[in-house]
Amino acid sequence: MTDHLTKANINLFAILRNLEDLCAMEDETKLIVKDCNISIQFIVKNGPEAFLILKDGKCALQKGRKRCKIKLYFKNPEHLNKMFDGKANPILLKGFTKLGFLKKEFPKLVEKLTYYLKPTDQLLKDPKYLEINTYLTMFTAFNAMVQIANHDRLGKLNSSRIPDGVVAISILGGGPSIFITSKSGCLEVNNETDKPIRAYMSFANTNIANAILNNKVDTYSAIGGGELEIRGCIPMIDNLNKLLSQVPAYVR
């Protein structure tokens, strides 16, 4: 069972957040925002607030409120989720002169994001596509997991059982690393950390990571075959896996 508040946080901080990496990794996406200088505020009543900056070919998503050129308001978390599903429109509070961007460039960004998050076997034969899909799928899964841990009823129960500390998740062979920090039952995700690592989850390479993240290879088989290494504080990993098992209910 899912709830709208958790899904709203996932849509902003796991799905939309991928624009940061997509702009950095994919030239066509970078070109779409090459000459942009746009800031978009997302305000959800009784829900999350996020601030998206698109400038000079780069993208950044932050929590909270800042001065913006476009302000989008949502009556509740469900309203935001319906927008992400293509079934509702936001309420435009500011930025009527920027409607051209919202109708032209922004849909192109969403289309690119969807393209890379919805793989087919044929698309995955392209090494560059596979790399981008793997990285975005990894970031989506673990950012969504953190939102589930902090907002979903069952997720909070599972996260309360995770010992304090940092888990490092990496794709070996030059791939990215992300770090999940657990403190008093709450989780946060970062691209770097200066804290000691208590547990490790390491994918042998990009191909293996893609197969596991897209549910084409069983996790236990990968561990048995040495393609996925788990070490350190195992209770941390076990409870993270319980949270990860909730992600497909929210992200399809």
CATH number at 139 reads: 3.30.1050.10
DSSP state of 3: -
* Domain identity same for 36 and 136: no
* Domain identity same for 56 and 130: no
Give percent of the chain with pLDDT exceeding 90.
87
Report pLDDT digits (tens) over 103-148.
888 999 999 999 999 999 999 999 999 999 999 999 999 999 999 9
Mean pLDDT over 75-90 rounds to 95
Please identify, among 75, 100, 117, the residue that sits at the C-terminal boundary of a domain: 117
* Domain identity same for 133 and 79: no
Report pLDDT digits (tens) over 28-74.
999 999 888 999 999 999 999 999 999 988 999 999 998 899 999 99
Distances (CA, A) of 1 to 37, 38, 41, 156: 40, 36, 29, 14
Q: Is pLDDT of 1 > 70?
A: no
- Length of the chain, in residues: 252
E strand or H helix at 37, and its extent? strand 37-44
* Domain identity same for 171 and 100: no
Please identify, among 85, 117, 149, the residue that sits at the C-terminal boundary of a domain: 117
* Domain identity same for 112 and 12: yes
* Domain identity same for 113 and 127: no
Q: Are the beta carbons of 250 and 6 closer than 8 angstroms? A: yes
Structural domain including 134 reads 123-250
Please identify, among 117, 139, 172, the residue that sits at the C-terminal boundary of a domain: 117
* Domain identity same for 127 and 113: no
The total of other beta-carbon atoms located within 10 Å of residue 99's CB is 11
Whose tokens are 């062979």? That residue is 173
**Bridge partners, residue 183, by sequence:** 186
- Give the total number of structural domains in the chain: 2
**CA–CA separation, 180 and 195 (whole Å):** 11
* Domain identity same for 49 and 105: yes
* Domain identity same for 188 and 207: yes
Q: What is the pTM of this model?
A: 0.93
